[in-house]
Chains A and B, each alone.
Chain A
Amino acid sequence: MATIDSKIPEGPLAEKWSNYKAHQKLVNPANKRKLDIIVVGSGLAGASAAATLGDLGFKVKCFCIQDSPRRAHSIAAQGGINAAKNYQNDGDSVYRLFYDTIKGGDYRSREANVYRLAEVSNNIIDQCVAQGVPFAREYGGTLANRSFGGAQVSRTFYARGQTGQQLLLGAYSALSYQVKQGNVELFTRCEMLDLVLIKDEEGKQRARGIIYRDLVTGEIKRCSAHAVVIGTGGYGNTYFLSTNAMGCNGSAAMQCYRKGAWFANPAFAQIHPTCIPVHGDKQSKLTLMSESLRNDGRIWVPKKLEDAKKLQSGELNPNDIPDEDRDFYLERRYPAFGNLVPRDVASRAAKERCDKGYGVNNTGLAVFLDFKYAIQRLGKDVVADKYGNLFDMYEEITDVNPYENPMMIFPAIHYTMGGIWVDYELETSIPGLFAIGECNFSDHGANRLGASALMQGLADGYFVLPYTIQNYLADQIQVPRFSTDRPEFEEAEKSVKEKIAKIMSIGGTRSVDSIHKELGHIMWEYVGMGRTEESLKTALKKLDDIEKVYWKELRVPGVPSTLNVELEKALRLLDFIEIGKLMAYDGLNREESCGGHFREEHQTPEGEALRHDDKFSYVACWEFKGEGKAPELLKEPLNYEFIKVQTRNYKN
């Protein structure tokens, strides 16, 4: 097996990034103007990268599927963004943020990448403030902080419950400035449908462009560049129901995978413990209730099975269950962290109770998050002041008043840690193709801590990629712009058009959504919170079946040569099925439990995740081997030189 070179710079951990920057190649201003970069995606990673690269003088083309870059799903992030500023004087440091992130990720991420992330986190806050992001402030005029799961310090910066929105609007502003300057060209309502590779003189395939569909006119178009960057987010919608936006998809990543980019750790998906439970088969998405609620809400189910049964049938009001008959199972199992254990732990504990029959709603798939105790302790006004908007949102959706009745919550798919494999330079296994933000696999290991997704997206876009991409482009300054009339573009466009024609000609009877929902059920049932060898093998079989259903029974009305929303969804669904398989392959291979990946065969006697560091301390990289063929596994060993790998403990 070929060894994987992740290009980690030499030297002590704290000096690696400085050393890299000191010795990397740069592109001079006159040459920057001659180099084109395609950025696909306009979320925190894509927008910040496009704006920064434009600002440096490169010619950038930025693509998004929405009507404006400002709609990207980064906008929905609620809680905050971490940084190692130590403004609270509570003992934070770059090292501590690095350590918490590595530990939170259950020791399945790269030391050097995570350290760099912690290092640049402070620059992000400075940059955002300079853009006019209205972070929360103290009366003295300084920035306010709050705490999040998995940390003992207050390092999270926030803008009410809309931090993602404000950071994205900051990046969108910076992007708008660069559009005005003429450095960035926007392609809105345009969807990438394939990656185009061109061989260089030495016969090496390099990423040189994309094929995309204008979603309004239906036209298939071409775009060429010296390098391609994808920042197209995660693949959580494989499960149909998730906290992701309706349009979130993993298709750009899959197009790159099919062209040779490795897909790393696909099985690592984060299941967020506090979402509003599924209420019916017509539901289109799940709504997240902020992690911050776990600061004051107490999570419980009844101790007695008969009480649970009565709750499920609606005969019993939860307020009539006395305290002594309530099982505060997180406080019981994890006395030290209680209701504030990390997301993966809280989610699994809820599943464990519901599996045993203690679920509290009509489907048996919900637990209580109770504010009665907080209201008794702090008063209704204080609780309303802290969480009022979330309570209103909950009541609007469920028609239940959470001041008077406990909220019902259940875990839901929220974020995917896995993604396109990248080296230290954020370059994929295809030269000239880079992946940033949630789209890559790099920094969160097997579980992401709260308030770290925004940090990673902006770190990649503002402060990492704009450096590392120059190390690649410095060798490209002699390469003239590519004509999109080249045969490589011709061929890629042809295959895209053939695929679309094939989909349009199926002529079945089922809508995209009906098949997607079926896929979601398979994924949740067999590749969900608890996985076994048997369930994953069943999943692979069922995924093959659903692919057959797709090619036989799908119906896409209308024509492809105009706006056609069903066609857009049909193309994405095909990739979701493929991602589902990758997740199952990866889950099957990883015979251990870590972070968001829980193999039921591998747990401690107390039911905690059991890692096998001797066998699985590596990044699982999957290489495409052709349609209908099993992917091939490559391993990038994870060597921990600077920290001691331990078992996560949230009990004491």
Chain B
Amino acid sequence: MDKTISFTLKVWRQRSPKEKGCFKSYQMKDIPTDTSFLEMLDILNEDLINKGEEPIVFDHDCREGICGMCSLYVNGHPHGPATGATTCQLYMRRFKDGDTITVEPWRSAGFPVIRDLMVDRSAFDKIMQAGGYTSINVGGVPDANAIPISKEKADLAMDAASCIGCGACVAACKNGSAMLFVSAKVSQLALLPQGQVEAARRAKSMLHKMDELGFGNCTNTRACEAECPKCVSISNIARLNREFIAAKLKD
């Protein structure tokens, strides 16, 4: 027989951005420990629907830790207690019988709540549109091997590029800063010759957009790095700052 646990779930319910939200408690009985956290919510939602109530709304999609859609603040941590994992990769065996588990949405000025646990992260798209690309057209590019890139640089760029855009860094930051997100994209492209061409412009415009959208500033608390499900390093923020200062000095 599989091991099961029973526990109390406190979930943030909020009808719309403008309405006031509150916690609601649900008693969860005999949940198998090999159930994922989101499957546990599926079970609860099935119960709610069967009672004729509206299910809890939360974002989720791939359920394998890569799409960046899931975004739950579990027991005070973005994506819950596991390190280097998204909410969908969290399994109930990490919790104990009799626990009280608190589930909230991302809380940040930059991410308004849409309903319950679902937030609006379109600000990240807007930051990307401000410069998170190389300004090239399709076709007319050189052969892929024309410009050699050292393995070390390519690996560092890949480390930065592993960001899934979930927003955990913003949710973890006391200032609600999006610096880890911005720096990951700026670093990835600044490390590669293809992105270096417009590195200065990119750093300035992405940071400017981040400020404009109401995200806070970085005060090096490193909470973002600790909570990032992909372990993106804050050394990227240092790199972003270098790019930014260099760009400003040229102005």
Contact = CB atoms under 8 A, between A and B. Distances in A.
Contact of A563 (B66, B115, B124, B157): B115
B129 A176 contact: yes
Nearest to A137: B154
B154 A135 contact: yes
A478 interface: no
From DSSP, what is the main secondary structure of chain B's interface residues? loop
B91 A396 contact: yes
Contacts of B97: none
Interface string A434-468: 00000000000000000000000000001100100
B93 A565 contact: no
B134 A131 contact: yes
A76 B155 CA distance: 20
Contacts of A143: 144-145
Contacts of A131: 133-134, 136, 194
B132 A176 contact: yes
A99 to B, nearest CB: 23
B81 interface: no
A504 to B, nearest CB: 13
Contact of B64 (A287, A462, A513): A287
Interface string B169-212: 00000000000000000001100101100000000000000000
A47 interface: no
Contacts of B155: 134
Nearest to B43: A282
B214 interface: no
B239 interface: no
Most A Cβ at <10 Å: residue of B36, B63, B165: B63
Contacts of B142: 126, 130
A534 interface: no
A51 B138 contact: yes
A133 B48 CA distance: 44
Interface in A258-283: 279-280, 282-283
A283 B42 CA distance: 9
B226 interface: no
A336 interface: no
A557 B52 CA distance: 6
B39 A159 contact: no
Contacts of A549: none
B34 to A, nearest CB: 6
B144 A565 contact: no
Nearest to A179: B129
Contacts of A162: 66, 162
A555 interface: yes
Given A67-B122, A142-B148, A396-B85, A246 B61 contact: yes
Contact of A132 (B43, B69, B189): B189
Q: What is the size category of the interface that chain B forms with chain A?
A: 35 or more
Given A51-B138, A143-B145, A397-B91, A180 B55 contact: no
A140 to B, nearest CB: 7
Given A127-B141, A130-B142, A176-B132, A141 B148 contact: yes
Given A67-B69, A557-B49, A166 B161 contact: yes
Interface in B98-134: 114-115, 118, 120-122, 124-125, 128-134
A283 B141 CA distance: 45
A509 interface: yes
A438 to B, nearest CB: 15
Contact of A55 (B137, B150, B194): B137
B143 interface: yes
A125 B144 contact: yes
Interface in A132-156: 132-143
Given A142-B148, A179-B129, A399-B93, A75 B67 contact: yes
B61 A159 contact: no
B50 interface: yes
Contacts of B52: 555, 557
B2 interface: yes
A288 B64 CA distance: 9
Contact of A245 (B55, B62, B158): B62
B233 to A, nearest CB: 15
Interface string A42-82: 00000000011001000000000011111101011000000
Contacts of A67: 59, 69, 120-122
Given A70-B165, A280-B2, A173 B120 contact: no
B164 interface: yes
Contacts of A164: 66
B194 A141 contact: no
B119 to A, nearest CB: 9
A138 B145 CA distance: 11
B175 to A, nearest CB: 23
A284 B114 contact: no
A393 B229 CA distance: 13
Contacts of B8: none
B61 A134 contact: no
B151 A76 contact: no
Given A141-B149, A176-B129, A130 B136 contact: yes
B237 interface: no
Interface string A159-191: 110101110010011101101100000101000
Contacts of B149: 137, 141
Interface string A455-487: 000000011001000000000000000000000
Interface in A384-413: 393, 396-399
B151 A138 contact: yes
B60 A246 contact: yes
Nearest to B2: A280
Given A51-B138, A279-B34, A555 B49 contact: yes
Contacts of B164: 165
B133 A136 contact: no
Nearest to A288: B64
B121 to A, nearest CB: 6
11 contacts: A68-B125, A70-B165, A76-B67, A143-B145, A176-B132, A176-B133, A246-B61, A285-B64, A397-B36, A398-B34, A399-B91
Which 5 pairs of residues, A with B, have the shortest CB-CB distance? Answer: A141-B148, A173-B133, A130-B141, A134-B157, A134-B158
Interface of B: 2, 32, 34-36, 38-39, 42-43, 45-46, 48-50, 52-55, 57, 59-69, 82, 85, 89, 91, 93, 114-115, 118, 120-122, 124-125, 128-139, 141-145, 147-151, 154-155, 157-158, 161-162, 164-165, 188-189, 192, 194-195
